[in-house]
Structure 1
Amino acid sequence: MNMKSLHTQQQIEEALFSLLQKKPYAEISIAEITRKAHVSRTSFYRNYSQKNDVLTLFLANQYKKFIVDINEHKLKTLTKQLIAYLTFFKENPKVMKILLDAGFEGSLLNFQTRYLKKLLGVYHPDLNLPDYAVAYQSGGIYMLLIWWVKQDYQTPLEDLINYAEKHIML
């Protein structure tokens, strides 16, 4: 992808997140996004098919960055990987709140489950978990994250990790 396209996507993403702080996702039009981003509708449709694609691509990019972070910091254990994952959301509290308020709970869970499966396949192939076990693990981690977001990250991360190690993770 060329730099101009990446820049356009970043402008559109920032515009959408800015608008999401003021009004519900369903009420935001592509015209509003393009106006706020200072890009044409043609530029929008060169990069996306529909409004949902903006958040979908954003999520995909965030999970890719997470995988890069795991590689760069050589986080080999599930515990260290979970700490990095939850820390991202704590350090970016608006991201999760905006995505939840926009009604992307299902998309978030699906992305997380897909990336957890990839992560386990690459870093923990010895586990060889069936899909239902990955779904269970992902659901537990996801609900723990949602709960933590909704209570404004008040519980210490260490408490969540200890709980996850005992009751969710293998």
Structure 2
Amino acid sequence: MADSTVKNTYVKQQITDAMLNLLRTNELKAISISHLVAAAEVSRISFYRNYTEKEDVLREYINTLILGWHVEYENSDKKSEEEMLGSLFAHFSKHGDFYLLLSQRNLFHLLKEVLKTLYGPKPEYPNFGAYVAAYFSYGLFGWIEEWFARGMQESAEDITILLKNRK
């Protein structure tokens, strides 16, 4: 069992690395599954064992990055909204090449899905709580998207100050 987990992790890493490399020179729609698995040096069966569509590879990678940040943040002594936002924008700055690639390839909506899952409204929230969560998650995404669209001109610290002074 452990051997199959290691093998599957290897396959997923190969597919992810190949996807990111191919995206640097190709639009997602121009990357076929055949092209992807050939670049990853894995079988089509391996792809479909792990993913339904190409976007799933990117969703999983975004989830890995954001959840990695989330765990790191939760284990820190930072607890204010400003500290959380500063930490998040530092994460985006650290992984800027990847997020800029998403932006350039018109795939930034995949990040919105992750942020909405993490910070957006949940079915069990009362109406007002759901509206506040929607406001926060979509507003946060708007700041992030616009920051990347403008070439990340401000540092993560500068963005944090702008967010803090938004009130």
| TM-score, with structure 1 as normaliser | 0.83
Partner of 1:88: 91
Instruction: Indicate the SS of the match to 2:165.
Output: helix
CA distance in 2, matches of 1:58, 1:19: 15
**Is the contact between residue 109 and residue 142 of structure 1 (CA under 8 Å) also seen in structure 2?**
yes
Instruction: Indicate the SS of the match to 2:8.
Output: helix
Give the unaligned 5+ runs of structure 2.
Answer: 122-127
- Give 1:65 deviation, angstroms: 0.7
CA distance in 2, matches of 1:49, 1:105: 19
Instruction: Indicate the SS of the match to 2:141.
Output: helix
- Give 1:75 deviation, angstroms: 2.6
Deviating beyond 3 angstroms after TM superposition, the runs of 4 or more aligned structure 1 residues are: none
**Is the contact between residue 89 and residue 159 of structure 2 (CA under 8 Å) also seen in structure 1?**
no
| TM-score, with structure 2 as normaliser | 0.85
Partner of 1:125: none
Partner of 1:162: 161
* Deviation string, structure 1 residues 11-63 (Cα, Å, up to 9, x no partner): 10010010000011111011111111111111111111221211121122222
Partner of 1:135: 134
CA distance in 2, matches of 1:142, 1:36: 32
1:75 to 2:78 alignment? yes
- Give 1:117 deviation, angstroms: 4.2
How many residue pairs get aligned? The number is: 159
- Give 1:103 deviation, angstroms: 2.7
Partner of 1:152: 151
Larger mean CA deviation between 14-23 and 132-141 belongs to: 132-141
1:15 to 2:18 alignment? yes
- The alpha-carbon distance between structure 1 residues 42 and 50, as it changes in their structure 2 partners (threshold 3 A), is same
Instruction: Indicate the SS of the match to 1:154.
Output: coil
Partner of 1:115: 118
C-alpha RMSD of matched pairs (Å): 2.1
Counterpart amino acid of residue 146 in structure 2 = W
- Give 1:95 deviation, angstroms: 0.9
1:59 to 2:62 alignment? yes
Provide the identity percentage. 25
Partner of 2:28: 25
Larger mean CA deviation between 80-89 and 109-118 belongs to: 109-118
Counterpart amino acid of residue 156 in structure 2 = L
**Is the contact between residue 48 and residue 54 of structure 1 (CA under 8 Å) also seen in structure 2?**
yes
- Give 1:8 deviation, angstroms: 0.8
Counterpart amino acid of residue 91 in structure 1 = K
Give the unaligned 5+ runs of structure 1.
Answer: 119-128
Counterpart amino acid of residue 49 in structure 2 = R
